[in-house]
Chain A
């Protein structure tokens, strides 16, 4: 064709009328998805929240004033202190971040200690305060915390303290790590299983498909809580917290992969007979290349959206397991573990701040869900 290359345009060329260039004409899938998502303000905002939550998880040591184990027994059940930035003295207002220390009373009848913030006694706090040492990102040794009391022995309990006098804020921040990563890793495992098994099911079809589908149906028919309980109970007591953590992740993803596999299978089935896949086959592409170049990019955005919606389910599942005491156990700190410790009538009545980790769960699950919904809408930018 090139040897007979007299390049004149055929007579049927559409009349070249004033061409208006649009950036849309050059926009690929991901750009279009991004533009579409950009129009959904709720999803965008939620995405920012999710990003922040993951940053919190990564930099938990730095953001938390104390380590998760730090305790001051005399401040057990101390209520939250408000953080103020200015102190007033005779010279007027001065910038000095601080909290107010407590005065303690012991109830003569119940012998219960009650704390009252003392407006007179200022506990100065500072940003980038030196505190306990830790390794930032696991490598850089440092003792700088975003916020901390100038004197590490002073009380600073922005979210209050638990029964051992541990800072609830610090523990919630540290819990972010486990809770958010268990969702991510669990879904990652489900995704691998789901794509491989769903892909096989959809691509090979026939008996393989039937077998995998029956397995999925069987797994989905098992009531989840008893299954989890059974599996979790089987985790040996001697395992280290890290081993338990991974065991729990595997248990969660064992159920989670089924719906992803179904989705992947459905996409494979639908796409396999699309004309553009047939055309690619005629263009001489091998099956693996077709999968990589045509099939996967066609459903990847849908899968990402589903995954975003699967993560909150994992987070809730972990919380549920830990809450009923068969999931993660102290000293591991997760939101579920924290809530489990709030499981008594006393905390409901006198220390409601112990439920603040629950708020963290609600915020993260909600924002994940909003983001996921937005992604589902944006995942196919070619509709309409």
Chain B
């Protein structure tokens, strides 16, 4: 709990920001690697390995990393879409006792899944093409026992209006909509049951640039309107910076850095964060070639066969002998929490150093 407490104290902001809504402690999601007819376990894929963080009420926490880093699995574990193999997940409702999500029974889990919702990456696969929009959005209302019959239809129509679609669309099927509109439908489904926490799993990654901006704006408006808390899982750092109050950076199933967006982007403390920021293309030809760009050699660490010590050490240009043997723990450095032995001594480049 100490780690969690520290994160809370370090957050400078309004007091309600400090009320945790989701608390994750030592979360592990390991998948066994089996071999042979007897399904002998020969190893573990450590998709998520001992990560802890808190999502505070009213904030947007970004979870960022490259493919295979475990960010999506983390998001899914929070709703037990994948079963965690270790650790503790606590959901704290605004009025009521905290629920231990990992041990929650059927009814408790249902309550959590009503309060905490998910917007999926691909609006094509997350909407059943065989159901009309009204049924897709109204499903949660019906099965969570919030509304019945004609009342469902009214609320669905209302949701459609709120996400910027016409209520007349209620009887149309998903194939009648464009990608951006489908994502609006996905958002309407998530918000229909009046949740207070939404996990946006790469919610804008599959969209075109112009539509992406529309959806980002919609998400922000809805956040204020419905008093929501977001966990925004993504890989596009520019989008993350745009929408998140705090950012958590993951690498190979571990949290390597977490802190307020401004400070992480301006003064990253972990070499991986630095490399990630450095790799983002800048949409301005005039800054081309300015500043030294960090390029990572080699491949993302294989989570079924992690390197010893710090998982990032084979690609890190600051790595020493110590990094090969000793696994760094997440610890507070300045406003951030960083898992790097040399977080205090390294001077890493943030975004400010590239801005024109």
Contacts and interface: CB of A to CB of B under 8 A. Distances in A.
A293 to B, nearest CB: 8
A92 interface: no
Interface string B94-131: 00000000000000001001100110111001111110
A283 B162 contact: no
A274 B214 CA distance: 26
A186 to B, nearest CB: 29
Interface string A241-282: 000000000000000000000000000000000111011111
Contacts of A10: 162-164, 218, 221-222
Contacts of A275: 120-122, 125-126
Contact of B164 (A13, A22, A279): A13
B194 interface: yes
Given A10-B218, A382-B129, A282 B158 contact: no
Interface stretch (A24-32, A64-72, A76-84, A166-174): A24-32
A16 to B, nearest CB: 7
B81 A14 contact: no
B117 A282 contact: yes
B126 A279 contact: yes
Interface residues of A, number: 35
Contacts of B159: 1
B172 A297 contact: no
A11 B217 CA distance: 9
B173 A26 contact: yes
B189 interface: yes
Contacts of A26: 132, 171-173, 176
B143 A297 contact: no
Contacts of B293: none
Interface string A27-61: 11100000000000000000000000000000000
A274 B165 CA distance: 25
Contacts of B148: none
Contacts of B194: 1
B140 interface: yes
Given A29-B130, A382-B175, A284 B158 contact: no
A284 B143 contact: yes
Do most interface residues of chain A lie in helix, strand or loop, or is the interface mixed? loop
Interface string B251-286: 000000000000000000000000000000000000
Contact of B140 (A2, A9, A283): A283
Contacts of A274: 125
A285 B140 CA distance: 8
B164 A12 contact: yes
Nearest to B106: A286
A269 to B, nearest CB: 15
A289 interface: yes
Q: Which of A11, A22, A274, A276 has the most chain B CB atoms inside 10 A of its CB?
A: A276
B6 interface: no
10 contacts: A276-B126, A278-B126, A279-B120, A280-B139, A281-B81, A282-B81, A282-B117, A283-B143, A284-B114, A285-B139
Given A14-B181, A275-B120, 16 more contacts: A1-B158, A11-B217, A12-B218, A12-B221, A14-B164, A14-B180, A276-B126, A278-B81, A279-B186, A281-B81, A282-B81, A283-B143, A283-B144, A284-B145, A298-B130, A382-B175
What are the 9 tightest A-B residue pairs by CB atom distance, in nearest-first order?
Answer: A25-B176, A13-B164, A284-B143, A275-B126, A283-B140, A276-B128, A283-B139, A284-B144, A25-B172
